[in-house]
A and B are shown apart, each in its own frame.
Chain A
Amino acid sequence: MSKAPPEIISLYKQDSSALTLKWLGKPLKPKEDYRLVRGRGTFVDDIQLPRMTYMAFLRSPYSHARIKRIDVSRAKSMPGVLLVWTGDDIKKRMRPLPQATPPPARNAIDYPLAVDKVRFQGEPVAMVVAESRYIAEDAVNQIDVDYEPLPAVVDAERALEPGAPLVHEEVGTNLIAHVHYKWGDVDYYFQHADLVVEAKFHYHRFTGAPLETNAVVADYDERADVMTIYCNNQAPMEWLPQLSAGLNMPYPKLRVVTRDIGGGFGTKLINYVYMILAALASKELKRPVKYMETRTENLQAAAHNAERTCTVSAAVRKDGTVLALRMRCVDDDGAYSRHEPAGMTVWAQVSTGMYKIRALENDYYAVFTNKCPSTSIRGFSRAPHLFMIERIMDRIARKLGMDPAEIRMKNLVGPEEMPYMTPSGGIYDSGNWPEGLRRALEAADYWGWRKRQEELRRQGRIIGVGVVVGSDSAGPNMAQVKMYNPGLPYTGGTEGALVQMTPDGKVRVILGSSPQGMGHETTAAQVVADVLDVSYDDIYVQTGFDSFSSVYTMHSGTYGSRFAPIGLSAVYLAAARLKEKLAKMAAYLLKCPEGDVVIENGAARCAKDPQRSMELRRIARIAYGNVNELPPGMEPGLYSLAIFRPPFQNPDENRRANLALTYSYNVHVVVVEIDPETGMPKILSYTALEDSGRIVNPLIVDGQVHGAIAHGVAEALYEKYHYDEDGNLLNPTFVDYLAPTALEIPDMKVIHMETPSPFTPTGAKGMGEGGGTAVQAVISAVEDALAPLGGELGESHADPETILRILKGAARGKSEV
């Protein structure tokens, strides 16, 4: 609502004095790409162990049905079949998965294999482990299940109505959670507004469609009583309670390993169910068990984003000032709460968007439906929320006859108010948003396009221009879960790193993250090289995560755009401490006052006497082997471990808290032309401005911007799940779930601003998700094109059918939505 109080700013402010700025910001070739572009990465399916066995699933054809009988006898008797389990077999071996939801939703019973009832199409009903995947699949076909189909609930608002079919009878309602948020005097602003603009929007269902689907190899070592799980989970340590409960094993006996991961986009968080099943089977058979999900299984049953429907009202002054928002939202979380309802709080990171909106009320519901369980797909919860705000901004502009760029400029938070505190307690760290908007408009030739749009419209062409300012809030404060379940013992947002100078003077780095293509080996090496002032080529970052050697916390992992703000901060801290230790050793060895020791270009020297210097590798050799030369009492070795802890706090009694560490921002300007015959929009021009604080590696930042635009354009124009009224997913293959190819993605102009974050030691901000700005910008442009014809889009997906309906409606002299 105004500049954050000084005591908060000083609490968050980070020291960055160890930076040399010699290696940060350079477009260094990503270390991992050399193996990846040659097809030499190690993914889960590349892991081959002796005596490997293979798992396959029988999945439910129904979205909602009672399981009357399962006959596995024929499958069990097939040669090569080692194990056939149904829900009842799993129920005997484990407790139900822990539920993070408040009561009564907490009563939902969730097992990785369906027990008594199936609740979404594609839910695993039985599993087979066999000598080969072929045998396993053939055996799956020999399992007979008698189902009694039940009426399905596929509409979130209908799910809340009395008499709706219940997804979980033991819960007694389809409501997962309800939270009523109110920040600021909303009623006052609505009473004193010149006008109120209201609309209803739907954020549709899609997924991340990573190249590599979910996969796991579980290998139980009977002698050591250790379970090793090779997986591609994005945050394996976040699921320790689930794994430990599922396998009834203590954490030190659970070894979880990730190597290269072929994309995640949030879809690879809730694959812990497969990790548990493979591990239980491995423990039973005393043999390794591999599961590699097929593409159809992935699209149908792995992880979708939660759909969101919001009614949004804005209290507005005639001059375009937006005073307050009132919202009522319903999230459709699907059949099980395996990650959700986190989305009903995460949006509050960007509660009032980019604007000086003074007050906000949100009456928020999350519900179960008979659809695939949902998780945090790229832009999780914030993208749909910013979508709602950006759509209502466009509607307000149209109502007031203002240009969409002008109304945004009028309401944007200004640089003089940074760090800015939102009505919900969020602290936007830094940036100059109005300047970003100005530069993006200029780079896109926005006003030129507006003029051309007029001319082309007169020629009968349907042209639209969209402009959106968005935020990519990053590095989440997990205490946000307390907003719907105050009892959950899960807060903060930390990450660990170990930096070791080995006796040869090279540097080994171990991270707590499990990257899926974000280039952590590169950016971590750049930070270490920068702090220690050694060569980037001398830094070796361990690939992937291994709970038996990596430094981790329960927040560890790669999600929520957290590596740049939190992971790299841990790397910085570990490297800075190592540098201090090197300086102490050098002071003694060089007989130089500690304050005069300078570490530079791979050597330590005494500032007052440059002749006195020593290469770091000589110090390293002494530190490990020639230890009698070390200062008396000094601990040998050059290990440095750090865990970075942002100064997050729990939400107060009014649910106010800062829920993310950094806030990148971006401005996208899109021009579309709609083909009047097919209704298909074509992107004529795409410009994106990105400010993600200090850029660690511009190649990686640009790659993330390109990826976010590709994903967003596809969500807006191509990717959408269609369920019929019985809960059948109508497009579970790449034939009809339209993941984009390079042909669908427009050329894009990417420009940068660089406002370092004061809240991270490197100044870098997270920017891996893009905040959904591309979705919002494309929809904004399409609606801008259709607006003169009286058409408005109620959804985050504009397919040609909808557009044609609007065009035909206009031709008949009436508008349709």
Chain B
Amino acid sequence: MPQFKGSEVISAPRQAVWDFLTDPQKVGGCVPGLKSLQVVDSDHFNAEVQVGIGILRGTVKVKYEVVEKVPPERIAMRMDGSGVGSKALINATVELKEAQQGTQLDWVADVTVSGTLAGLGARYLNDIAFKTVSDIFKCTKEKLSK
């Protein structure tokens, strides 16, 4: 089970970052390849995401769920994706710290993939999983820095 990590420094107050990450509309809008977003409640949303990985192209359905919230410093989330003959489970934890230039965002994600996608193995999948998760937080940074 590969684990990925990353950090972003966002020039916005910690509370603003927190508000962004706990608003399904906003964080959902940062999911790369988003086709549709259906917010269930403040802790749950369902999304349809367009993916294209090598020869595999199609729509992945993502169920997003907040599993733990410690305002305004820690949030744990679970993303359950299914499509293109595969299942992907991402468990991610985000920690927010006050920093000189604003807020430091540290994230850790565990990724489990089953099905056809798993066959792509380390060659593509690690890069893609890393890019997908880090894109969400990069997007968070961009939107908040505007």
Give chain A's interface residues, CB within 8 Å of chain B.
59-63, 121, 141, 144-145, 147, 149, 296, 300, 724, 726, 728-733, 735-736
Taking CB as reference atom, which chain B residue is nearest A147?
A: B87
Given A61-B86, A141-B59, answer yes or no on A730-B116 (Cβ-Cβ < 8 Å): no
Bound Cα distance from A586 to B58, whole angstroms: 72
Least distance between A796 CB and chain B CB atoms (Å)? 22
Given A141-B59, A735-B55, answer yes or no on A730-B121 (Cβ-Cβ < 8 Å): yes
Cβ contact within 8 Å between B119 and A61: no
Interface string of B52-84 (1 = CB under 8 A from A): 001100110100000000000000000000110
* B139 adjacent to chain A (CB < 8 Å): no
Cβ contact within 8 Å between A732 and B119: yes
Could you jot down 14 A-B contacts, CB within 8 Å? Answer: A60-B115, A61-B115, A61-B116, A121-B114, A141-B58, A141-B59, A149-B114, A728-B115, A729-B119, A730-B118, A731-B119, A732-B116, A732-B119, A735-B55
Bound Cα distance from A726 to B116, whole angstroms: 13
Contact residues in B for A63 (Cβ distance below 8 Å): 114
Bound Cα distance from A694 to B59, whole angstroms: 58
Given A61-B86, A730-B121, answer yes or no on A296-B58 (Cβ-Cβ < 8 Å): no
* B6 adjacent to chain A (CB < 8 Å): no
Contact residues in A for B55 (Cβ distance below 8 Å): 733, 735
Given A141-B58, A141-B59, answer yes or no on A59-B121 (Cβ-Cβ < 8 Å): no
Cβ contact within 8 Å between A733 and B119: yes
Given A149-B114, A728-B114, A731-B119, answer yes or no on A61-B54 (Cβ-Cβ < 8 Å): no
* B33 adjacent to chain A (CB < 8 Å): no
Least distance between A331 CB and chain B CB atoms (Å)? 24
Interface string of B83-107 (1 = CB under 8 A from A): 1011100000000000000000000
Contact residues in B for A144 (Cβ distance below 8 Å): 61, 82
Contact residues in A for B115 (Cβ distance below 8 Å): 60-62, 121, 728
Instruction: Kindly list the 9 A-B residue pairs having the minimum CB-CB distance in the complex, ordered from nearest.
Output: A61-B115, A728-B118, A61-B87, A61-B114, A732-B119, A61-B86, A62-B114, A730-B121, A730-B119
Residue with the greatest number of chain B CB neighbours at <10 A, chosen from A121, A147, A736? A121
Bound Cα distance from A60 to B83, whole angstroms: 11
Give chain B's interface residues, CB within 8 Å of chain A.
54-55, 58-59, 61, 82-83, 85-87, 113-116, 118-119, 121
Taking CB as reference atom, which chain B residue is nearest A152?
A: B114
Least distance between A258 CB and chain B CB atoms (Å)? 29
Bound Cα distance from A736 to B119, whole angstroms: 9
Contact residues in B for A147 (Cβ distance below 8 Å): 87
Which listed residue, B54, B59, B83, B87, touches A735 by the CB 8 Å rule? Answer: B54
Contact residues in A for B118 (Cβ distance below 8 Å): 61, 724, 726, 728-730
Least distance between B53 CB and chain A CB atoms (Å)? 12
Residue with the greatest number of chain B CB neighbours at <10 A, chosen from A61, A147, A731, A733? A61
Contact residues in B for A730 (Cβ distance below 8 Å): 118-119, 121
Bound Cα distance from A300 to B56, whole angstroms: 15
Given contacts A61-B114, A736-B119, list 15 more A-B pairs with CB under 8 A. Answer: A61-B82, A61-B87, A61-B116, A62-B87, A62-B115, A121-B115, A141-B59, A141-B83, A144-B82, A296-B116, A724-B118, A726-B114, A728-B114, A731-B121, A735-B55
Cβ contact within 8 Å between B87 and A728: no
Contact residues in A for B114 (Cβ distance below 8 Å): 61-63, 121, 149, 726, 728
Bound Cα distance from A296 to B85, whole angstroms: 11
Taking CB as reference atom, which chain B residue is nearest A58?
A: B85
Least distance between B124 CB and chain A CB atoms (Å)? 10
Taking CB as reference atom, which chain B residue is nearest A62?
A: B114
Bound Cα distance from A121 to B85, whole angstroms: 10
Bound Cα distance from A148 to B61, whole angstroms: 18
Contact residues in B for A149 (Cβ distance below 8 Å): 114
Taking CB as reference atom, which chain A residue is nearest B1?
A: A726
Contact residues in B for A732 (Cβ distance below 8 Å): 116, 119
Bound Cα distance from A730 to B119, whole angstroms: 4
Bound Cα distance from A726 to B58, whole angstroms: 24
Bound Cα distance from A730 to B116, whole angstroms: 8
Bound Cα distance from A724 to B85, whole angstroms: 17
Least distance between B31 CB and chain A CB atoms (Å)? 18
Least distance between B79 CB and chain A CB atoms (Å)? 16
Bound Cα distance from A699 to B115, whole angstroms: 43
Contact residues in B for A731 (Cβ distance below 8 Å): 119, 121
Least distance between A74 CB and chain B CB atoms (Å)? 11
Bound Cα distance from A296 to B117, whole angstroms: 12
Bound Cα distance from A145 to B55, whole angstroms: 24
Contact residues in A for B119 (Cβ distance below 8 Å): 300, 728-733, 736
Bound Cα distance from A728 to B116, whole angstroms: 8
Bound Cα distance from A704 to B118, whole angstroms: 36
Taking CB as reference atom, which chain B residue is nearest A297?
A: B85
Which listed residue, B61, B113, B116, B121, touches A300 by the CB 8 Å rule? Answer: B116
Taking CB as reference atom, which chain B residue is nearest A729?
A: B119
Least distance between B1 CB and chain A CB atoms (Å)? 9
Taking CB as reference atom, which chain A residue is nearest B121?
A: A730
Contact residues in B for A62 (Cβ distance below 8 Å): 87, 114-115
Bound Cα distance from A59 to B87, whole angstroms: 11
Bound Cα distance from A732 to B114, whole angstroms: 13
Contact residues in B for A735 (Cβ distance below 8 Å): 54-55
Contact residues in A for B61 (Cβ distance below 8 Å): 144
Contact residues in A for B116 (Cβ distance below 8 Å): 61, 296, 300, 732
Contact residues in A for B113 (Cβ distance below 8 Å): 728
Contact residues in B for A296 (Cβ distance below 8 Å): 85, 116
Which listed residue, B59, B85, B121, touches A61 by the CB 8 Å rule? Answer: B85
Contact residues in A for B82 (Cβ distance below 8 Å): 61, 144-145
Bound Cα distance from A749 to B45, whole angstroms: 65
Residue with the greatest number of chain B CB neighbours at <10 A, chosen from A59, A144, A145, A732? A732
Bound Cα distance from A435 to B118, whole angstroms: 51
Contact residues in A for B121 (Cβ distance below 8 Å): 730-731, 736
Least distance between B36 CB and chain A CB atoms (Å)? 13
Contact residues in A for B87 (Cβ distance below 8 Å): 61-62, 147
Bound Cα distance from A147 to B82, whole angstroms: 11
Contact residues in A for B59 (Cβ distance below 8 Å): 141
Residue with the greatest number of chain A CB neighbours at <10 A, chosen from B86, B118, B121? B118
Bound Cα distance from A88 to B63, whole angstroms: 26
Taking CB as reference atom, which chain A residue is nearest B89?
A: A149
Contact residues in B for A726 (Cβ distance below 8 Å): 114, 118
Residue with the greatest number of chain A CB neighbours at <10 A, chosen from B58, B61, B83, B116? B116
Bound Cα distance from A730 to B86, whole angstroms: 12
Contact residues in B for A728 (Cβ distance below 8 Å): 113-115, 118-119
Contact residues in B for A61 (Cβ distance below 8 Å): 82, 85-87, 114-116, 118
Bound Cα distance from A418 to B33, whole angstroms: 71
Bound Cα distance from A59 to B61, whole angstroms: 16
Least distance between A7 CB and chain B CB atoms (Å)? 57
Least distance between B28 CB and chain A CB atoms (Å)? 19
Least distance between A557 CB and chain B CB atoms (Å)? 32
Least distance between B77 CB and chain A CB atoms (Å)? 19
Least distance between A9 CB and chain B CB atoms (Å)? 53
Bound Cα distance from A59 to B86, whole angstroms: 9
Bound Cα distance from A144 to B59, whole angstroms: 13
Taking CB as reference atom, which chain B residue is nearest A61?
A: B115
Bound Cα distance from A147 to B86, whole angstroms: 12
Least distance between A436 CB and chain B CB atoms (Å)? 43
Residue with the greatest number of chain A CB neighbours at <10 A, chosen from B58, B82, B119? B119
Bound Cα distance from A736 to B114, whole angstroms: 17
Contact residues in A for B54 (Cβ distance below 8 Å): 735
Bound Cα distance from A750 to B36, whole angstroms: 62
Least distance between A729 CB and chain B CB atoms (Å)? 6
Least distance between A569 CB and chain B CB atoms (Å)? 45
Bound Cα distance from A59 to B115, whole angstroms: 9
Taking CB as reference atom, which chain A residue is nearest B59?
A: A141
Least distance between A723 CB and chain B CB atoms (Å)? 10
Least distance between A732 CB and chain B CB atoms (Å)? 5
Bound Cα distance from A659 to B47, whole angstroms: 59
Least distance between B121 CB and chain A CB atoms (Å)? 5
Bound Cα distance from A735 to B55, whole angstroms: 10
